[in-house]
């Protein structure tokens, strides 16, 4: 952190600030000139924000020079983190990992019909919401524990793994029992109590980017989980809120590149919640592979017109299988394995 004092700041004001910084075990390196009083502070500044220092009189400008996240940062760990799952899945290496399924688990028959298509595509991870975070309290809220049981049963039938969203900390024991990868939804990205609980989980976490979160805030949420002891995190870009109304959200495809520069964690894309329209999913998926994402999470439904949630962005089986064929061909060209 670099601190510049005001031109008319006093020695007393500086001493008060210096005392505070020293109490935090920080070292002060003066780099002042005859025109400006400026100094760098060296050490662990993670317990406060640069803006907190404006509380001290005489402070003119505070600039952070290192990232506020540590364990999630590329400077902390140079090599890419690879999340290993059953069936030889390695997220973050040279595979393009596909997670597919309906938005919501609606019934055993519905999930079974979709899972059959997911299996046929060569994917190994089945998605589906059992607890649904809906904008309206009157919309379908999910089947709850029964949904988790259906997910497990169907996934086992087809030898697939399960990824599904956890809505609150108290449900962790249930999720540990039924689920392979625990998803944190966009609306819960900054539910810090939930993140702390997941820091104690033994399961990998799929951390979605919040609706209006910066990449830094997203990585700080990863840091919450990692600082609790769970370092198995897969980031998921799912589109952010912008002024554009035609699509549900705006897919921030460059965030994959930002994450890869700032962090060692793997990152996948959810084109379904980004676009909100099935007609755009194929092209956005190919773009995700091209930009270097480690995989996709995509919504598929055999009867989207009658889906209980997100039918408009769900691919029908035929379209989904056509898309996965294209992804396989493109992955091969890029030296990646579709799995």
103 scored as a contact of ligand PEP (CB under 6 A): yes
Q: Which of 329, 275, 325 shows the shortest CA–CA distance to 298?
A: 275
Q: Which residues contact 20 (CB under 8 A, 6 or more apart)?
A: 56
Q: How far is the CB of 239 from ligand PEP (least distance, A)?
A: 8
Chain centre to alpha carbon of residue 210: 8
As measured in angstroms, the least distance from the Cβ of 128 to ligand PEP is 8
Q: What is the DSSP string of 287-311?
A: HHHHHT-SEEEEEB-S-GGG-SS-G
Q: What are phi and psi of 105, to 5 degrees?
A: -80, 120
- In the complex, residue closest to ligand PEP by CB: 185
Binding to ligand PEP in span 235-294, by CB under 6 A = 238, 270, 273
Q: Choose from Mn ion, ligand PEP, none: what does 133 bind? Cβ within 5-8 Å by kind.
A: ligand PEP
Buried b (16+ CB within 10 A) or exposed e, 297-331: bbbbbbebeebbbbbbbbbbbebbbebbeebbebb
Q: Which does 282 bind (CB under 5 to 8 A by kind): ligand PEP, Mn ion, none?
A: none
Q: Which element (helix H / strand E) includes 30? A: strand 27-30
Residue 82: CB atoms within 10 Å? 16
- Window 174 to 233, contacts with ligand PEP (CB under 6 A): 185-187, 208
The 8-class DSSP code of residue 209 comes to P
Q: Which residues bind Mn ion (CB under 5 A)?
A: 103, 310
Nearest-approach distance from CB 28 to Mn ion, in angstroms: 51
CB 73 → Mn ion: shortest distance, Å?
A: 31
Per-residue burial over 10-35, b = 16 or more CB atoms within 10 Å of its CB, e = otherwise: eeebbeebbeebeeeebeeeeeeeee
Q: Which does 304 bind (CB under 5 to 8 A by kind): Mn ion, ligand PEP, none?
A: none
**Is the CB of 241 or the CB of 283 nearer to ligand PEP?**
241
Q: How far is the CB of 164 from ligand PEP (least distance, A)?
A: 9
Site residues for ligand PEP, 111-170, by CB under 6 A, read 129, 133, 165
What are the C-alpha distances in Å from 312 to residues 274, 308, 324?
12, 11, 19
| Smaller CB separation from ligand PEP, 133 or 229 | 133
Q: Which does 266 bind (CB under 5 to 8 A by kind): Mn ion, ligand PEP, none?
A: none
Interaction partner, residue 301 (Mn ion, ligand PEP, none; CB < 5-8 Å by kind)? none
Are 205 and 152 spatial neighbours (Cβ–Cβ below 8 Å)?
A: no
On whether the CB atoms of residues 115 and 154 are closer than 8 A, the answer is yes
Count of residues binding ligand PEP (CB under 6 A)?
Answer: 11
Residue 43's binding partner, choosing from ligand PEP, Mn ion, none, with beta-carbon cut-off 5 to 8 A by kind?
none
**Shortest distance (Å) from residue 253 CB to ligand PEP:** 16
In the complex, least distance from residue 272 CB atom to ligand PEP, rounded to whole angstroms: 8
The distance of Cα 33 from the centroid of its chain, to the nearest Å, equals 44
Closer Cβ to ligand PEP, 88 or 133, answer by number = 133
Binding site for ligand PEP (CB under 6 A): 103, 129, 133, 165, 185-187, 208, 238, 270, 273
């Amino acid at each position: 952190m670099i601190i510049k004092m005001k031109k008319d700041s006093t020695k007393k004001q500086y001493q008060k600030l210096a005392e505070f910084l020293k109490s935090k075990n920080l070292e002060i390196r003066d780099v002042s000139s005859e025109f400006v009083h400026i100094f760098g502070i060296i050490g662990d500044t993670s317990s406060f924000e640069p803006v907190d220092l404006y509380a001290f009189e005489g402070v003119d400008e505070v600039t952070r020079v290192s990232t506020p996240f540590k364990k999630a940062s590329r400077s902390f760990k140079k090599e890419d983190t690879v999340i290993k799952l059953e069936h030889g899945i390695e997220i973050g290496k040279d595979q393009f990992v596909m997670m597919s399924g309906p938005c919501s688990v609606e019934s055993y028959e519905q999930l079974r019909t979709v899972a059959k298509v997911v299996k046929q595509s060569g994917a190994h991870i089945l998605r589906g919401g059992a607890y649904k975070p809906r904008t309206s309290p009157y919309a379908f809220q999910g089947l709850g524990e029964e949904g988790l049981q259906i997910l497990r049963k169907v996934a086992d039938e087809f030898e697939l793994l399960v990824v599904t969203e956890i809505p609150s900390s108290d449900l962790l024991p249930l999720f540990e029992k039924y689920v392979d990868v625990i998803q944190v939804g966009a609306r819960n990205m900054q539910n810090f109590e939930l993140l702390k609980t997941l820091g104690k989980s033994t399961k990998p976490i799929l951390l979605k980017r919040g609706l209006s979160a910066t990449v830094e805030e997203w990585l700080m949420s990863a840091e919450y989980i990692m600082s609790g002891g769970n370092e198995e995190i897969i980031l998921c870009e799912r589109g952010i809120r912008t002024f554009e109304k035609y699509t549900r959200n705006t897919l921030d495809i460059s965030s994959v590149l930002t994450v890869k520069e700032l962090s060692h964690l793997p990152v996948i894309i959810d084109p379904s919640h980004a676009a909100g329209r099935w007609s755009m999913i194929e092209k956005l998926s190919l773009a995700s592979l091209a930009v270097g994402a480690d995989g996709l999470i995509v919504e598929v439904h055999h009867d989207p017109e009658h889906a209980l949630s997100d039918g408009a962005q769900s691919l029908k089986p035929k379209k989904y299988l056509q898309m996965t064929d294209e992804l396989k061909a493109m992955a091969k060209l890029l030296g990646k394995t579709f799995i």
